[in-house]
Amino acid sequence: MPYYESSVDGTRLHYVDHGPACGAVAVFVAGAYLGHEMWEHQMLPLAEAGYRCVGLDRRGHGRSDDVWSGYDLDTLADDLQGLLDHLDLREVTLIGHSVGTAEVLRCLTRHGSSRVAGAALVCGVSPGIIRSERLPDGLDPALVRADEESFRRDRPAWFTRFADAFFAVTSAGNEVSDACTRYLIDRCLVATPRAATGVRSVVTGLDLTAELPAVDVPVLVVHGTHDTSAPLTHTGERLARLVPGAVLKVYENGGHGLFFTHADRLTADLRDFLGAAGATAATTATTATTGICRMLAAAGIGG
């Protein structure tokens, strides 16, 4: 089972690495509470299509170490950069969901884009959703505090109560089985209480407004019209305006869980974006890279 150690504090972080070793690389960062498994309907078909798909379990989530500290955005971004360094990945497309979009963006603005060809931001909470001086139309902090109390008191009930809204099941076409809902709730509960509340704190304190103009790679923003966790006007639309050259794709009836309800469309859009990002990589590719791939294949080494 593959792990690497965080450069910040040595925390063991789990990742998966699927698909051919020399395929165009996509690195997936999950939303709050979930591990890499949330990307099942994107990673599997993309890996089968020849892309190298790497999925990260953030600290305290999935199979990564249960630790007390490090649930601040800078450390989470450093953990992500550490994965790119550990695997020596180049021309990567970073793909984040929800709070994972903030980790992707902070990784870019904190560490630069020398390893990154592009970023896809799906249902992001970026640039922020809580009312502040620069986000005057955000959520009322008092409502957020009340929600936090409910979450701490009974996490299983909290996840169950908001599951339908997460998938926007009352909107046309968003059919989700009870079994799937139960599975994802169970996966959410794998995240430790400390990790879950720590990541929630990242969201409540999030305001990336000032740093978004510094993002210097192609960015795809995907958002649903019925996302109640991160309303489109506060997040996706604003994010696309603030990031230079960003492309916004809006999914009609899509909720926060459109990675499942709109799985085929999202996978197709990511594949198209990976192709666009890969075109940039192709201009810098060398025959040496091709030779390395051939040697790996000959030796029977690959993802």
Is residue 123 within 8 Å of residue 167, measured between CB atoms?
no
Catalytic residue positions?
A: 98, 227, 256
Residue type, 41: H
C-alpha dihedral sign at 277, 58, 111, 104: positive
Q: Which residues are bridge partners to 53 per DSSP? A: 18, 26
Residue 296 to residue 290: CA distance in whole angstroms: 10
Of 19, 3, 26, 18, give the one whose Cα is nearest residue 277.
26
Residue 121 to residue 113: CA distance in whole angstroms: 16
Is residue 107 within 8 Å of residue 74, measured between CB atoms?
no
Whether the link from the prior residue into 127 is cis, omega within 30° of 0, is yes
167, 171, 175, 178: CA torsion to nearest 10: 60
